[in-house]
Amino acid sequence: MTGTWLHGLEDRARAALPAPVFEYVGQGARESVSTREAPAAWQGLRFAPHVLRDVTDVDPGVDLLGRRSLVPWGIAPTTLQRAVHPDGELAVARATAAAGGVMVVSSNAGTSFAAIGATGVRWWLQAYLPSDRTLAEPMLDRAVAAGAEAVVLTVDTPVVATKYVVGEPVWDTVQDGLLRVNFDPGYDERPGAEKATDLGPHDLDWLAERTGLPVVVKGVLRSDDARRCVDAGASAVWVSNHGGRQLDRARSTATQLPEVVAEVGDDAEVYADGGIRNGLDVLAALALGARGVFLGRPALWALADGEQGVARLHRDLRDEVVEALRLAGCRVPADAPSLLGRDDVPPL
């Protein structure tokens, strides 16, 4: 029955969450074309399963940046987790620690990095860089001090894309203190705090130097950009269109993942997110060569039920991924690329 619970996740969150919060979580940019297409793109892939293979012992774990994750997914960075549930990032952190996975914490987080680190979760910092890079330094230093193991630079957001809000905008409903608590007070009013429109490969160097951490680049959709990231020292490239919340009509990640894997897969880890909703979607991404995947909205919908909701998300998804691997004749995620040809690109 695990599929039933995961399948109903969004509908239960719709019933449980205040309308503006639910709308914020689900929304895409403009007409939400990319947001809508994402799950369908994974569903468009077809497997050629192996048989006559011993799938008694299946291990869904993967190495992410040199450390074992017990599951081949992590939690993507999302803003306003404490508007979804008062425990916010702490609930996600505790449940993800228990699942043996990785949590990526938004630099917009409403919970202190120190408190997140204290849960014992393995976590990476997601950073947006401001025009004046020096304004980000205290936030980066706090993340390093709180045990962040990597810094994920989001590169698809030179401006926040327009969203068509139907009901009351979430920003009119949330209390103070749910946003950017890891920055210096008054950060948003400082000149130079707006998002950088001049990000370049040199920023990877700067981040690596400042933090001493591996750098992951999130928001890449093209092989030429992936190559530039790796040449600039990125340890991993994260194929993402921001859940369709930035450039609407951007191609789906399922469509773009193969060319990125073909270009840099031997030199760096490649991750993917966007529209991953169940174990078969995870298998499809692994089959296209992703080292791991990340979940945005599903984690927030599950968080509507607090830590226990996120714990169940991890548990049920693990069951689904193990079942999918077994049915496909794969013992480990690294067996999955043989399920598809390299040129097997979904239709969207």
Ligand X SMILES: Cc1cc2nc3c(=O)[nH]c(=O)nc-3n(C[C@H](O)[C@H](O)[C@H](O)COP(=O)(O)O)c2cc1C
Q: Is 78 among the residues that bind ligand X (CB under 6 A)?
A: yes
Torsion of CA 48, 53, 55, 58, to 10 degrees: -70
Catalytic residue chosen out of the listed positions 7, 50, 85, 242 = 242
Under rule CB under 6 A, which residues in 97-116 are in contact with ligand X?
106, 108
E strands present in 85-233 = 102-106, 122-127, 151-154, 215-220
Q: Is 76 among the residues that bind ligand X (CB under 6 A)?
A: yes
Q: Is 139 among the residues that bind ligand X (CB under 6 A)?
A: no
Crossing angle of helices 279-287 and 253-264, rounded to 10°? 40
Q: Which positions from 3 to 22 touch ligand X by CB under 6 A, shown as an x/- string?
A: --------------------
Q: Is 85 among the residues that bind ligand X (CB under 6 A)?
A: no
Q: Which positions from 22 to 61 touch ligand X by CB under 6 A, shown as an x/- string?
A: --xx------------x-----------------------
Angstrom distances, CA of residue 255 to CA of 43, 45, 227, 281, 342: 12, 10, 18, 13, 12
Which residue number places its CB atom closest to ligand X? 296
Q: Is 297 among the residues that bind ligand X (CB under 6 A)?
A: yes
Binder among 126, 182, 211, 256 for ligand X (CB under 6 A)? 126
Contact (CB, 8 A) for 237 and 264: yes
Q: Is 235 among the residues that bind ligand X (CB under 6 A)?
A: no
Count other C-beta atoms under 10 Å from residue 190's C-beta. 13
CB of 300 to ligand X, least distance (A): 6
Binder among 273, 281, 305, 307 for ligand X (CB under 6 A)? 273
C-alpha to C-alpha distance for 229 and 216, rounded to whole angstroms:
9
CB of 234 to ligand X, least distance (A): 15
Q: Is 274 among the residues that bind ligand X (CB under 6 A)?
A: yes
Angstrom distances, CA of residue 295 to CA of 56, 276, 289: 28, 6, 17
Q: Is 291 among the residues that bind ligand X (CB under 6 A)?
A: no
Binder among 79, 119, 211, 278 for ligand X (CB under 6 A)? 79
Q: Is 242 among the residues known to form the active site?
A: yes
Contact (CB, 8 A) for 278 and 320: yes
Q: Which is nearer to ligand X, 316 or 335 (CB)?
A: 316
**Chain position carrying tokens 């097997």:** 344
Under rule CB under 6 A, which residues in 144-183 are in contact with ligand X?
154
CB of 325 to ligand X, least distance (A): 21
Contact region with ligand X (CB under 6 A), list: 130-138, 163-171, 296-304, 310-318:
296-304
C-alpha to C-alpha distance for 45 and 255, rounded to whole angstroms:
10
C-alpha to C-alpha distance for 313 and 91, rounded to whole angstroms:
12
Going by C-beta distance under 8 Å and a sequence separation of 6 or more, which residues neighbour residue 230? 237, 264, 267, 268
Q: How many residues bind ligand X (CB under 6 A)?
A: 24
Q: Is 218 among the residues that bind ligand X (CB under 6 A)?
A: yes
CB of 271 to ligand X, least distance (A): 10
* Radius of gyration of the chain measured on its C-alpha atoms: 19
C-alpha to C-alpha distance for 127 and 136, rounded to whole angstroms:
9
Contact region with ligand X (CB under 6 A), list: 61-69, 222-230, 260-268, 292-300:
292-300
3-state helix, strand, coil split of the chain in percent (to 5) is 45, 15, 45
Residue 103: strand, helix, or coil: strand
Q: Is 295 among the residues that bind ligand X (CB under 6 A)?
A: yes
Under rule CB under 6 A, which residues in 249-268 are in contact with ligand X?
none
CB of 184 to ligand X, least distance (A): 19
C-alpha to C-alpha distance for 167 and 29, rounded to whole angstroms:
15
Which residues sit opposite 122 in a β-bridge? 102
Indicate which residues carry an active-site annotation.
242
Residues that bind ligand X (CB under 6 A): 24-25, 38, 76-79, 106, 108, 126, 154, 218, 240, 242-243, 245, 273-276, 295-297, 300
